[in-house]
C-alpha cells in the first residue's frame, strides 16, 4: 500500500509540474529564434516560384543602334581616306576590304572587348547581356540584371563580324575578278561560283527569317547575336527616352524648300529676272559701260562682235547665232526686245 501511495503521489506531482510548466510565459526572444528558423525556408519557397521579369526592349532602339554604328564607321572611314588624299589616286581602292576590317576591329577593341557598348548602342541606352547566364531562380529586380558577354563570346563576335565580313568580301571580289561565273570557265571554278551563290542565298534567307522573329519577339537583331545568345537590354532602367525633333524639323523644312525650288526654277527666265531686278541695282551707272563691252551671254569680250537689231546691243557672233537658231523668238538679254536681225559691229546686216 505504501508503494502504491508513493507511486500515485509521484505521478500526481509530475503532472502538476507539467501543467505549471505549460502555464509559464515563453522567453522574450523566442519569436526571434522562430523567425530565424523559418526565414531560410520562406526564401527558398519564394525563389522557387519566382521567374524572370518579362521585359520588352524597343525594336526601334535596337535598329537605330545598328544604323548609328554603320554611320560611325562611315565617318571614321571618310576621315581616314582624307589622310591619304594626297597620295596616288585609287591606291586605297584595292585595300578597301582591309580598311573596313581595320575600322570594325578598332570599334570592337575599344567597346565590346572592354565590356562597353558600341557608340550606337551607347546612344540608345543599351548593352549586351549573356542570356545563357540568366536562370529562372536568380534574384531579379528590374529584369535588366545579368552579366555581360564572356571572353569566348567577345572573341567569336569579333571573328564573325570582322573576320567573316572581310573573308566574304575578299572571296566575292576575287571570284568576280577571275570571272568564275562565266560559262566558259573550268568546271571547278564554275562549281565554286555556284556554291558561293547558294551560300549567299541561304544566308540571306536565314537573315530574313531572323528579321521576322526579331520583329515578333524583339530579341537578337542578326544571326550572330542569336548564335552567341547576346541580347541587347537597357543599360539604365531609369533613363528617359528624350527625343529632340529639332534636327528632323530642319531636315523636313530644307527638303520641302529644295523641292519647291526644283519645281519653280525651270519656270523662271533668268534674263527676264535679271532685267526685272536691274532697276534696283546700286551701281547701275558705273557698270553700264563695262556691260556694253561684254557679251551678256558668255560674259566675256566678244572676239567677233555682232549687234542685235533693233536694240543695238553687242554680242559674240556664236552666242547670238546659236540663240537665234535655237529660239526664233529670242529676246535680247539686256532689254528683252525681240531680235529681228543681227549685224556685224562694223558691217552689214544678217537676218536672225
Torsion angle of C-alpha atoms 187, 188, 189, 193, degrees rounded to 10: 100
How many domains are there within the chain?
Answer: 2
Same structural domain for residues 97 and 211? yes
Look up the CATH number of the domain holding residue 335: 3.30.40.10
Quick check: is 77 in a domain? yes
Quick check: is 311 in a domain? yes
Same structural domain for residues 219 and 314? no
Residue closest to 313 by CA, chosen among 334, 290, 284: 334
User: Three-state SS across the chain?
Assistant: CHHHHHHHHHHHHHHHHHHHHHCCCCCCCHHHHHHHHHHHHHHHHHHHCCCCCCCCCCHHHHHHHHHHHHHHHHHHHHHHHHHCCCCCCCCCHHHHHHHHHHHHHHHHHCCCCCCCCCHHHHHCCEEEEEHHHCCCCCCCCCCCCCCCCCHHHHHHHHHHHHHHHHHHHHHHHHHHHHCCCCCCCCHHHHHHHHHHHHHHHHHHHHHHHHHHHHHHHCCCCCHHHHHHCEEEEECCCCCCCCCCCHHHHHHHHHHHHHHHHHHHHHHCCHHHHHHHHHHHCCCHHHHHHHHHCCCCCCCCCCCCEEEEECCCEEEEHHHHHHHHHHCCCCECCCCCCECCEEEECCCCEEEC
Same structural domain for residues 84 and 215? yes
Quick check: is 257 in a domain? no
Quick check: is 51 in a domain? no
State residue 7's pLDDT score: 45
Q: How far apart are CA 302 and CA 314, in angstroms?
A: 8
Contact 315, 308 (CB under 8 A): yes
The mean pLDDT values, 10 residues at a time, for the chain of 352 residues are: 48 50 64 72 57 73 90 88 76 82 92 91 89 62 75 93 91 82 72 88 94 92 92 79 67 84 74 66 51 78 82 83 80 81 65 50
Residue closest to 197 by CA, chosen among 211, 178, 181: 181
Same structural domain for residues 210 and 303? no
Quick check: is 65 in a domain? yes
Residue ranges making up the domain that contains 72: 59-234
Quick check: is 72 in a domain? yes
Same structural domain for residues 78 and 201? yes
Joined grid coordinates for residue 96: 578597301
Same structural domain for residues 297 and 228? no
Same structural domain for residues 76 and 192? yes
Same structural domain for residues 180 and 297? no
Domain boundary, last residue among 194, 215, 234: 234
Quick check: is 316 in a domain? yes
Model pTM above 0.75? no
Quick check: is 204 in a domain? yes
Amino acid at each position: 500500500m505504501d508503494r502504491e501511495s508513493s507511486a500515485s503521489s509521484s505521478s500526481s506531482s509530475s503532472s502538476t509540474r507539467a501543467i505549471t510548466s505549460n502555464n509559464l510565459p515563453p522567453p522574450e526572444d523566442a519569436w526571434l529564434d522562430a523567425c530565424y528558423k523559418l526565414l531560410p525556408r520562406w526564401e527558398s519557397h519564394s525563389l522557387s516560384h519566382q521567374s524572370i521579369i518579362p521585359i520588352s526592349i524597343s525594336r526601334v532602339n535596337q535598329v537605330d543602334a545598328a544604323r548609328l554604328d554603320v554611320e560611325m564607321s562611315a565617318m571614321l572611314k571618310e576621315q581616314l581616306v582624307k589622310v591619304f588624299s594626297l597620295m596616288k589616286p585609287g591606291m586605297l581602292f584595292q585595300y578597301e576590304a582591309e580598311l573596313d576590317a581595320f575600322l570594325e576591329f578598332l570599334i570592337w577593341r575599344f567597346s565590346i572587348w572592354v565590356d562597353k557598348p558600341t557608340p550606337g548602342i551607347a546612344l540608345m541606352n543599351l548593352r549586351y547581356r549573356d542570356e545563357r547566364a540568366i536562370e529562372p531562380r536568380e534574384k531579379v529586380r528590374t529584369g535588366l540584371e545579368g552579366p555581360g558577354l564572356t571572353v569566348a563570346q567577345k572573341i567569336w563576335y569579333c571573328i564573325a563580324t570582322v573576320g567573316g565580313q572581310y573573308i566574304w568580301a575578299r572571296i566575292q571580289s576575287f571570284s568576280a575578278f577571275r570571272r568564275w561565273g562565266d560559262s566558259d570557265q573550268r568546271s571547278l571554278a564554275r562549281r565554286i561560283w555556284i556554291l558561293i551563290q547558294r551560300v549567299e542565298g541561304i544566308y540571306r534567307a536565314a537573315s530574313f527569317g531572323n528579321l521576322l522573329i526579331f520583329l515578333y519577339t524583339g530579341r537578337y537583331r542578326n544571326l550572330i547575336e542569336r548564335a552567341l545568345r547576346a541580347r541587347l537590354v537597357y543599360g539604365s532602367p531609369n533613363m528617359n527616352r528624350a527625343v529632340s525633333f529639332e534636327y528632323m524639323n530642319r531636315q523636313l523644312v530644307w527638303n520641302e524648300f529644295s523641292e519647291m525650288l526644283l519645281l519653280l526654277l525651270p519656270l523662271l527666265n533668268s534674263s527676264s529676272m535679271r532685267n526685272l531686278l536691274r532697276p534696283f541695282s546700286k551701281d547701275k551707272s558705273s557698270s553700264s559701260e563695262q556691260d556694253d563691252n561684254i557679251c551678256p551671254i558668255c560674259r566675256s569680250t566678244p572676239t567677233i562682235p555682232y549687234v542685235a537689231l533693233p536694240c543695238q546691243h553687242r554680242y559674240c557672233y556664236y552666242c547670238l547665232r546659236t540663240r537665234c537658231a535655237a529660239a526664233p523668238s529670242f529676246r535680247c538679254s539686256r532689254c528683252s526686245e525681240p531680235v529681228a536681225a543681227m549685224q556685224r559691229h562694223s558691217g552689214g546686216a544678217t537676218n536672225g
